[in-house]
Amino acid sequence: MAYGGYTYIDKKYVPAKDDFVVLVWASGTVPVEEIAEALAAESSVGTWTKLKTMNEKVFQKLKARVFKIAKTTAKSGLIWIAYPLEHFDVKNIIQFQASVLGNVFGLKELTSMRILDIEFPEKYQKQFPGPFGGIKGIRRYVGTEKSGRPHLGTIVKPKVGLTPREFAAVAYEAYMGGCDFVKDDENLTDQRFCPFRARFEEMMEVIDRVRSETGRKVLYAPNISDRYERMMERLDYIHFHGAPMVMVDVFVVGYSALQEITGEARGKRTFIHAHRAGYAAESRGEFGITFAVHEKFYRMLGVDQLHVGTGVGKMEGSPLYIKRLRDIVALQKLNEKLYLGSLAQEWDAKIKPVMPVASGGVGPGIVDAMLALHGKDVVVQAGGGIHGHPRGTRAGAKAMRQAIDAAVKGIPAPKYAKTHRELAEALKKWKYMPPNTVKKLLAQERKRAKTLRKRALSKGIKEIEKHW
């Protein structure tokens, strides 16, 4: 079987050390082998017909190779494709995406397709800087290297509408209640009711005040997302005033601008808090690219914090899948977990771990369950779960810190609440989620890994999606 007169299937091929491996789910109106041939051809050296200009050197050196297919039906299955490093431009993530994640989605034979994961070779990773600070750098700044406790963050609520002074007043209460980190939300930038510079200046005064009153160093991430020139202007302004962090809506900003921003921020020794607003538009439905793929690009480019979901909050994502997203950014080496549609990945030493951010429907009552899933290297990011506390923002932040402290000590939140008023009030309002379900699920995953893999291979995307 061939596509355009050439064959790209080679089941005896073993990916080379410097190959990329791409895992795809696809179904269509033709046999899955034809789909696989088309995907490999269109994303590398081929097209729909035989070429007079093709030569054997180009074909053998630069073609993509389908080295494995796991059929679910005659016209659907999982496809593994290897790409040679030489096919890709240096430091050019846009060219990589246009090749591997581009025209293939438009093939008329397809009825569904997901790019599930990509394994990036270390030689390719070395072209990129990775995070400026990552987990260790942010901990060093905040002063939690020794304790290793989770960080507590918040989004000022309401997310839009407050004046700069009102915004900063809410942030002050959050910091004084125990927050380490405050950020703008994804849709707050430079509106008339809360101009960027005025808000930033008010926040710098608050941060100085908190340090003066408590001795603590806290972080604020102003949202610089905008046109490229304006992002650079804001980054320069923030750096001039000595602030160490910015926030970028990384998905909607795009990779080209993000690559420039991360490079500039690194030179200014500035952390980047990455918000993922918008990614779900291409990951829900019959076609798309999973967030695991984007995470890897963001880590290579050099964000320091990245939203990965909670696994137990209001946003989509099962505990198993969210843990995998967390591990992709926070660990240096991962084994394949095919039942999650996830390949193995080993990170180069220079590509530091990114601090995961767990956000979306977070309140004190789910902290025990969250930390059972995420561990201690995480930002517990609560908005309504802080500002919705019966006695306001400061009490809400205290309740969240008490829940975190209890979890770190191994004390169930309801027991800890007996001697901590703010936590007790929060649990009364929002209830408590025991961590048992999460712990049981993780234990079952370890025990049933081989069985889960076999089911994924035999049943395809519907089985994989059960764990998402």
Catalytically annotated residues: 157, 275
Residues 84-99: b if buried by 16+ CB within 10 A, e if exposed: beebbeeeebeebeeb
DSSP string covering 295-317, please?
HHHHHHHT-SEEE---SSSSSS-
Q: State CA 250 to chain mean position distance.
A: 10
Quick one: which H or E segment has residue 154?
strand 151-155
Kind of pairing between the strands at 20-28 and 110-119: antiparallel
Residue with tokens 């591997």: 100
Q: What does 336-359 look like in DSSP terms, one character per residue? A: -BGGGTB--EE--TTSPPPEEEEE
- How is residue 222 written in tokens? 């102003």
| Torsion region of 243: left, alpha or beta (phi above 0 gives left; psi -120 to 50 gives alpha) | beta
- Compute CA distances 178 → 149, 310, 389, 400, 405, whole Å: 13, 21, 14, 8, 11
* Cα-based distances in Å from 305 to 189, 281, 293: 19, 22, 16
| Residue 104 Cα distances to 46, 99, 276, 370, 461, angstroms | 12, 8, 24, 37, 18
DSSP assigned state of 382: E
Distances (CA, A) of 52 to 46, 49, 87, 428: 12, 10, 21, 74
Instruction: Give the dihedral of Cα atoms 224, 228, 229, 233; nearest 10 deg.
Output: 20
CB 299 within 8 A of CB 329: yes
Query: How many Cα atoms sit within 13 Å of 226 on the Cβ side?
Result: 16
Closest CA to 84 of 159, 5, 13: 13
Phi, psi at 359, each rounded to 5°: -140, 160
Cα–Cα distance list, 92 to 99, 121, 128 (Å) = 11, 15, 10
What is the rounded distance in angstroms from the CA atom of residue 382 to the CA atom of residue 399? 11
